[in-house]
Amino acid sequence: MKRLLLFTGLITIAFFLLLAFINPYAPVAKYEEKNEHGISGAIEWWMSVRVNDQTGELDLASMHEAYDAVNSMSSNRSMGIQWEEMGPDNIGGRTRSILFDKNNQGVIFAGAVSGGLWKSTNNGLSWGKVNDLFESLTISTIAQASNGDIYFGTGEAFYSFGLNNPTGFSAFGFPGRGIFKSTDGGNTFTQLTATIPATGNSTTEDWAYVSRLATSPTDANKIYASTNKGLRISSDGGTTWTNAVGPILSYSWDVKTGSDGYVHAVVGNKYYRSTTPDGNSFEVRSGLGGFPNSGIGRIELEVAPSNASYVYAICINSASEDLQGVFKSTDGGTNWTLIGPGGSASFNPPGQQGTYDICVGALPTDPDVIYFGGQLSMWKYTPTLGWFSVSNWLGEFFDPDIYIHADMHAIEFNPFNPSEMYVGCDGGLFRSGNADDIYPIFSDVNRNFNVTQFYSVAAAATGEVIGGTQDNGTNYIDFLGNTTMAAKEIQGGDGGFCEIGKVNPNAFFAGLPAGTVTRSSSKGGGFNLFYDDRIDASGDGGIDEGADWLTPFALWEQPDTGRAFYILGAGGVGGNSGHMWLTTGAMNFSVDPDWFRFPLTSGWVTCVAFSKDGDHAYAGTSNGFLYRYSNLLAVDEAGKFSYPSISSTAAAWNAVDSGIVVSSVQVAPGRYLRWIAVDPTNANNVVVTAARYGNDENIWRSTNALESTMTFTDLTDNLPKMPVWTAVVDIENPNRIIIGTDYGIYARDLGNADGWTEENGGMARVPVLEIKQVPYYGKPYLYIGTYGRGIFRSGSLVGIDESASIINNAMLFPNPVHEQANLRIVLAKAGLVEINIYSLKGDLVLKLDEKNLAAGESNILINTSKLTPGSYLVNAKSGSSVFNQKMVVIK
């Protein structure tokens, strides 16, 4: 159906004005943040927490040394922690590479930048991971040789501010481990030895970033690789590699081969073409035949599959990262015509981040037609119609047929069906089955494609979880979706830290970038800002003095009194000071609460935490200081969390005069403190961790944290020298400390001499940015947010295998229920089954006698006659297996 997308902008504006009129908390406000910040804030934050503390630069050598140290550690998991994947299985994540297997119809491969390699055998209807144990899960490119061999390259160099210096290189994405090859159709892969980055003193090791791979159309052994150290060529299937003759040894963005065998490449901001088909020698073509020669950053190439004489080049401005121009050649790259001029507000697909997100694909049935994906929309070009938009990043709200998630990175066409086009983007994978129509129809194809990048996680006592993600909003998994791992996006854009109320589990708190925090009284049904004019006098929704891109905050509640404290950290990033702010009214949704500013800190605040009793709050800073603020309960009881008048400024309230006692210690001079974990059984025991590479110490512990002079001892021991993103002190055994790192979970029991052990049972070695321990129906569970593989949980620290599910299947019927429900449950083996009914607030309302059931199918009757009408949660547990289903009782 033809859709006139010329009017998409007007339709979008009208639609969201209508939503805002009907509902003041409509999605338009939620998504403004994403458009405003783009990717630069995330890149800057990752740079700030991963650089070498001594040099201020990305230190690839230290990263590779940490990887080698991880591999050399014993594989024994002394605590035997086993992880259970929770999802989401419907959201996706940043995907830069797609490959249709040309020898097997319906088989597709997709590479995520921190979630690894995935495969579909049913043409994208569902996905499964190929191998979670690859040496690198940061995949940027996939290619297939003429004999069917498959290669993928690792390292994400496009996560960058651009390559402004032709002889330099600056990227802050995760480095890779070279190139991997499969000779059995993608079932197994082997790391190519010649491409393994060598650990050394250089900050630019060979093969740290492989951005593009291309293969010869006729020689199955001829492979081309765009790397951070130039264009490399192999003539023996990847066993050995040589430098291309001609280009300088600078970073290579792209390489493509045509059906005629000619090779087109980008090296050091210049366009090169091979002098012969399948050649090793290249000549620079920038500045010739109409191809631009100055002010260029990234260049993305495309050779039309139906006619190799048609070559396209998207050129990005090096300084502003917007579009310089789209160029077309019809004679194999000799002469070029500008078909898409830059410098226009109405046509600038990459926005201001062309290094990060551009892709181009030529229609297989017509070499004159191309698609151009960028930041917010997919554009199409035909010689007769020119340029027009065919997608809208907000289309999910008014026309799903035109929706593709923002930030596009890959376009691929199905060789068995040239009308079928796949798009890889920050929202995973999207498909069109009619790409040869003027206006294609799009839909997402993310089923089981769990590569979502989480910054945080929070859990309710009944097991539901929320988490903030990179560019996929704040996700909520409540077990009530199409699958138990399906998530709802309850707030858009880039997510941050999250909290769920314990006294009121309907209360959700969610962060947005750089100082904006929101709350919801209805489990994400609508989020609102809740700053006053002391913390946000400008009224823009942020903290006036600034804040870290991932703004730290924490919630403390006292169940028997309903008292609650909420703290967050502030301070201009890059500056020398900051503050911690506190409000006592976060759980009162009827008003915007007063905020109280604590004394100045050295460095901006990077992490915060409470003691279990709420009497002490802690703040860590970018200068390595830890601050403790004590006597909070007495100050609150005395009514001293108050201002002398409504018009009082933040400075009118004095924390020390109010009775708060401030203590501080510089745990690690100049270090970026990343996490504070307080022992829930003894507030004297506090663990502090730090970010960044190039340091011998990254985690410390104090056993006198409540004294006026706190002291900390290094706990790094045998832990590889890498950032420690998060930590928790086990409530069941305070000697046990569990941490999250770039390579997953590690743990240590201070009661023995084993040191740190890897505890990644059931999950990949992916970065873990937050870990929390939360009671799940009374039993302490660990929850983790991973940066690339979603959310996981574990119910035991003693080796219970939660992945070996006892409950194979269960179903509750009828539902809604009048007087009696039937729970049909299928067990893999005989065992005890415990069944409880909870209110949606988490209160136990009905407990059934424990059942000893045989393997196979059993039916259990649930009498609901004594339950009042409403919604409940049915919870069945057998061993480590858990089944939850919402039940509606009617009369």
Domain CATH number, residue 817: 2.60.40.1930
One domain, residues 475 and 358: no
Domain harbouring 723, CATH code:
2.130.10.10
Cβ atoms 371, 377 nearer than 8 A: no
Report residue 22's pLDDT band, with 50, 70 and 90 as the boundaries: very low
When comparing pLDDT for 70 and 166, which is higher? 70
Q: Does 273 map to a domain?
A: yes
Q: Count other C-beta atoms under 10 Å from residue 236's C-beta.
A: 11
* Residue 77 pLDDT grade (very low, low, confident, very high; cuts 50, 70, 90): low
Whether 766 and 821 share a structural domain? no
Q: Report pLDDT digits (tens) over 524-534.
A: 999 999 999 99
Please answer whether residues 369 and 439 qualify as being in contact, where contact means their C-beta atoms are separated by less than 8 angstroms.
no
Provide the edge-to-edge strand list for the sheet that holds 179-182: 139-144, 150-154, 179-182, 190-191
The predicted structure's pLDDT at residue 484: 92
* Alpha-carbon distances, residue 807 vs 771, 813, 878 (angstroms): 26, 17, 7
Mean pLDDT across 819-826: 88
- Give yes or no: residues 817 and 713 share one domain: no
According to the model, what pLDDT value does residue 871 have? 84
Cis peptide before 552, with omega less than 30 degrees from 0?
no
Sequence-distant (≥ 6) Cβ neighbours of residue 651 within 8 angstroms: 597
Whether residue 801 has pLDDT greater than 50:
no
Q: Is the pLDDT of residue 35 over 80?
A: no
Average predicted confidence (pLDDT) for the chain? 91
Residues 689 and 823 in one domain: no
Q: Does residue 490 fall inside a structural domain?
A: yes
Q: In Å, how far are 28, 116, 158, 451 from 137, measured between CA atoms?
A: 34, 4, 16, 10
Q: Containing domain of residue 408, as a range?
A: 7-61+109-444
Beta bridge partners of 445: none
| Total tally of structural domains belonging to the chain | 3
Assess whether pLDDT exceeds 90 at residue 688: yes
In the block, residue with structure tokens 């804030």 = 41
In a domain, 2, yes or no: no
Residues 440 and 462 in one domain: no
The whole-number pLDDT of residue 21 equals: 34
Q: Which of 17-26, 572-581, 740-749 has the lowest mean pLDDT?
A: 17-26
* Confidence (pLDDT) at 32: 36
39-48, 198-207, 556-565, 579-588: least confident range:
198-207
Residue 316 near residue 354 (C-beta atoms within 8 A): yes
Question: For residues 542 and 515, what is the distance between their CA atoms, to the nearest angstrom?
Answer: 5
pLDDT digits (tens, 9 = 90+) for 475-518: 999 999 999 999 999 999 999 999 999 999 999 999 999 999 99
Assigned domain for 472 exists? yes
**In terms of Cα–Cα distance, which of 606, 495, 509, 607 is closest to 557?**
509
* Average of per-residue pLDDT across 701-727: 97
Which of these three, 766, 794, 822, is where a domain ends? Answer: 794
Tell me: do 538 and 599 sit in the same domain.
Answer: yes
pLDDT at 37: 56
DSSP 850: P
Q: What is the pLDDT of residues 50-60, one digit of tens each?
A: 998 888 888 88
pLDDT at 24 over 70: no
Percentage above 90 pLDDT, the chain? 77
Do 579 and 439 share a structural domain? no
* CA atoms in the 13 A half-sphere facing the CB of 662: 15
In a domain? residue 91: no
The mean pLDDT of 822-843, rounded to a whole number, is 83
Mean pLDDT of 92-98: 98
Q: Is the sign of the CA dihedral 151, 155, 161, 165 positive or negative?
A: negative
**Residue 82 lies inside a defined structural domain of this protein:** no
Question: What does the alpha-carbon distance between residue 424 and residue 411 come to, in Å, rounded to a whole number?
Answer: 7
In a domain, 552, yes or no: yes
pLDDT at 275 over 90: yes
The last residue of one of the domains, among 794, 817, 833, is: 794
Positive or negative, the CA dihedral 378, 396, 407, 181 is negative
Residues 604 and 590: beta-carbon distance below 8 Å: no
Same domain, 789 and 811: no
Q: In the predicted model, is pLDDT for residue 162 greater than 60? A: no
Q: Is 814 exposed, middle or buried (0-12, 13-18, 19+ CB in 10 A)?
A: exposed
The predicted-structure confidence for 374-432, as pLDDT tens digits, reads as follows 999 999 999 999 999 999 999 988 999 999 999 999 999 999 999 999 999 999 999 99
Whether 116 maps to a domain, the answer reads yes
Q: Is residue 131 located within the same domain as residue 218?
A: yes
Q: pLDDT class for 14, splitting at 50, 70, 90?
A: very low
Q: Which residue has the higher pLDDT, 890 or 105?
A: 105
Amino acid at the residue 264: H
Q: What pLDDT, on a 0 to 100 scale, did the predictor assign at position 20?
A: 36
For every residue of 370-398, DSSP letters joined together read EEEE-SS-EEEEETTTEEEE---TTGGGT
Range 195-223 average pLDDT: 87
Strand (E) positions, 584-732?
596-597, 601-602, 605-610, 616-621, 625-630, 661-666, 673-678, 686-690, 699-702, 713-714, 724-729
667 has a pLDDT exceeding 60: yes
Token pair 């940015």 in the structure block, residue: 769
**Whole-angstrom distance between the N-terminal and C-terminal Cα of the chain?**
47
Q: Which of 309-313, 412-416, 547-551, 831-835 has the lowest mean pLDDT?
A: 831-835
Instruction: Based on the fold, state whether residues 778 and 814 are members of the same structural domain.
Output: no
Cα–Cα distance measured from residue 158 to residue 139, given in angstroms and rounded to the nearest whole number: 12
Report DSSP state, residue 61. Answer: H
675: which 2 tokens?
A: 């996490």
Query: At which of 419, 444, 469 does a domain end?
Result: 444
Are 532 and 631 in the same domain? yes
User: At how many degrees (to 10) do helices 27-37 and 40-50 cross?
Assistant: 60
Whether the link from the prior residue into 814 is cis, omega within 30° of 0, is: yes
Residue 841: the pLDDT is 64
Q: How many CB atoms lie within 10 A of CB 63?
A: 24
Average pLDDT over residues 55-83: 86
Return the higher-pLDDT residue of 112 and 163.
112
Co-location of 434 and 507 in the same domain: no
